[in-house]
Structure 1
Amino acid sequence: MFAIIGATGNVGFSTSSALRRAGVPVRAILRDTAKAARLSEIGCEIAMADLQDAGSLAKAIGDADAVQIIVPVSPRAKDPAGDLTRSIESVVDALAKARPKRVLAISDYGAHVADDIGMPSVFHGLEIRLGGLDAHVLVLRSAEHMHNWARVFPMAVASGSLPTFQDPLGMAQPTIAAQDLGVIAANLLLRPDSGRDLEVIHAEGPRRYSANDVAAAVSQLSGRVVHAQAVPRSRWKETFERTMPASLADLLIKANDAKNEGGLVDIAPNAGEVCYGTTELIDALRALVPPV
């Protein structure tokens, strides 16, 4: 049995679908019954649990041999950073209670960095906690998801300007389509145990893309000329805090500073395995760019 925590998200559903195509049983662990239908349709067993209730989560994991965990950010929480930390603590406690043989955790590029670089540092803490489990732990560090650009596409198509925190605009950054990440995770869960307690794998797309590349893709898909435009560093705080609480804004500001420095939010030095998705940026964005 393969239990997927966060099965309704883009990555979790992709993993669940790939595992079902492989013919293995999947238990989708959800906190909202309204989202269960499409998972039931592909043959998943459904279990309900609150991510911050370690007892109910351990019960939902039950006898699963392997568990995939995705700990999401809740932007609507009053303190998203604190909420994320509490969720991590709860999930790790649940895993310690349930004692599955294998755990695959979706982490973040840059999680190897000991200094505080925002969001990757939260996952640095997650990886440390997972290292204490009595299980074969697979840490799958993911590059940024391509669909994260979608929130600014309506503005970009309307104005001809794609706002970005990436600077310089031509610096290529690692990124990946969420569905590719889910398939990579499923393949890792299905392969034989390596015999090692902890493995770290990195995952990104077939090639790296810059903000200029994103603007070019939006131009091609929308039929309107769009140029990337860096948001001045002095305006980052006010820009982020228009749409999110200060604690989440702080994590993202630090992460973007680290990305722009280069070499930090990236594959760890002397890293082992790197897996590459097959979805190109323009194909990942095709359904996300609004028509003119």
Structure 2
Amino acid sequence: MYVITGATGHTGHIIAEELLAAGKKVKAVVRNATKGAALAEKGAQLAVGDLEDAAFLKETFKGAEAVYLMVPPKWNITDWRAYQREIIQNFVDALQESGVKYAVVLSSMGAHMPTGAGPVSGLYDLEQALKTVEGLNVLNLRAGYFMENFFGNIGLIKAAGIQGYTLNADLKVPLVHTHDIAEVAVKYFLTLDFEGHSYVFVAGAADYTMTEATAILSDAVGKPFHYVQFSPEDARAGMIGAGLPETIADGYNELFAGLNSGEYLNGYERDTANTTPTTFEDFAKKEFSVAFNAVS
């Protein structure tokens, strides 16, 4: 049996559906049974609960051969790293008690950084903590920057004709679609051929600068807009003004500072093994433009 956390999320639902299609038994971890109904109809067993509930996770992991682990975002918190560490400890306790043998983990490029990468440094904690679970084989998927993150800029583009982060405009960043990440996870789940503790980069089809990515999005929607590199102070004020807690705003600033420094992508080099099919151009035309035009 495979236990999939975040089973209604971008990566989790694809993993669950494809494992079911392959004839595997799947337990889908969801917070809301209604949202998990589509998976249940396809044969998944639903485990309805919260990852912050340690007893729930221990019960859910019983009898599993393999699990998909991801720490979901939570927007109403005061300490992002503390929240991540709570989930991580619950994972470790449940894995130790259940004797699960395999885990595929949604991690990130930059997860080698114990500090200086914002929320991604929390994934350093996750990778390190899983090493304490005896007998567990772990494959960490160190993914690039999600293409879907650009959806969050639609309001700014509509209002001001700009797209912006604190990222250097000429910094090449691997942009990956979450569907591609899920496909990599499924490949490893179907073989379970990994041992010990390892990681693979999941890098999308190409690396892009923010200037290049903005031009591709602008062309796809047929509206001219350009990239602006914000100061950390302006970015923080904008995020807090948009309703994000200070801990999350500070975390994103730290993450982008890590990227700008070069340390975040240290060790990453594009090759055929970490390159995945979905191009940013396809995402822009087929998904971003649709979302953009749906906003008045």
- TM-score where L is the length of structure 2: 0.90
Instruction: Supply the AA of the counterpart residue of 2:193.
Output: D
Give, in whole Å, the separation in 2 of the partners of 1:268 and 1:188: 22
Shift of 1:16: 1.3
Give, in whole Å, the separation in 2 of the partners of 1:204 and 1:257: 20
1:139-191 residue CA offsets vs partner (Å, 9 max, x unmatched): 11111211011111232144321122211x12210121011101111111112
Q: How does 1:21-170 map onto structure 2 within 5 Å?
A: 21-134=21-134, 135-167=136-168, 169-170=169-170
Give, in whole Å, the separation in 1 of the partners of 2:208 and 2:42: 33
Identical residues among aligned pairs (%): 25
Q: Judge conservation of contact 1:110–1:268 (CA < 8 Å) in 2.
A: no
Give, in whole Å, the separation in 2 of the partners of 1:260 and 1:127: 23
Number of residue-to-residue matches in the alignment: 289
Q: Judge conservation of contact 1:109–1:141 (CA < 8 Å) in 2.
A: yes
**1:207 alignment partner in structure 2:** 206
Q: What secondary structure is seen at the aligned counterpart in 2 of 1:174? A: strand
Give, in whole Å, the separation in 1 of the partners of 2:174 and 2:3: 28
Q: What secondary structure is seen at the aligned counterpart in 1 of 2:207? A: coil
1:187-238 residue CA offsets vs partner (Å, 9 max, x unmatched): 11112434x3111111110101221122112212211111111112332322
Instruction: Supply the AA of the counterpart residue of 2:248.
Output: L
Give, in whole Å, the separation in 1 of the partners of 2:270 and 2:220: 36
Q: Judge conservation of contact 1:15–1:186 (CA < 8 Å) in 2.
A: yes
- The 3 A distance-change label for structure 1 pair 95 and 157 is same
**1:261 alignment partner in structure 2:** 261
- The 3 A distance-change label for structure 1 pair 252 and 153 is same
Q: What secondary structure is seen at the aligned counterpart in 1 of 2:208? A: coil
Shift of 1:116: 3.2
Q: Judge conservation of contact 1:48–1:60 (CA < 8 Å) in 2.
A: no
- The 3 A distance-change label for structure 1 pair 26 and 59 is same
Shift of 1:271: 11
1:15-57 residue CA offsets vs partner (Å, 9 max, x unmatched): 1122223222211111211211121233222112320112211
**2:278 alignment partner in structure 1:** 279
Shift of 1:272: 11
**2:221 alignment partner in structure 1:** 222
Instruction: Supply the AA of the counterpart residue of 1:166.
Output: L
Give, in whole Å, the separation in 1 of the partners of 2:156 and 2:143: 27
Give, in whole Å, the separation in 2 of the partners of 1:24 and 1:139: 21
Give, in whole Å, the separation in 2 of the partners of 1:187 and 1:216: 33
**1:186 alignment partner in structure 2:** 186
Q: What secondary structure is seen at the aligned counterpart in 2 of 1:266? A: coil
Q: What secondary structure is seen at the aligned counterpart in 2 of 1:208? A: strand
1:99-158 residue CA offsets vs partner (Å, 9 max, x unmatched): 111111111111112443322211111111000112111111111211011111232144
Give, in whole Å, the separation in 2 of the partners of 1:272 and 1:173: 14
Give, in whole Å, the separation in 2 of the partners of 1:104 and 1:272: 21
Shift of 1:239: 2.1
Q: Judge conservation of contact 1:200–1:272 (CA < 8 Å) in 2.
A: no
Give, in whole Å, the separation in 2 of the partners of 1:159 and 1:241: 18
Q: Judge conservation of contact 1:177–1:279 (CA < 8 Å) in 2.
A: yes
**1:173 alignment partner in structure 2:** 173
Give, in whole Å, the separation in 2 of the partners of 1:141 and 1:178: 12
Give, in whole Å, the separation in 2 of the partners of 1:66 and 1:118: 28
Instruction: Supply the AA of the counterpart residue of 1:7.
Output: A
Q: Judge conservation of contact 1:5–1:68 (CA < 8 Å) in 2.
A: yes
Gaps in structure 1 of 5+ consecutive residues: none
Give, in whole Å, the separation in 2 of the partners of 1:275 and 1:96: 31
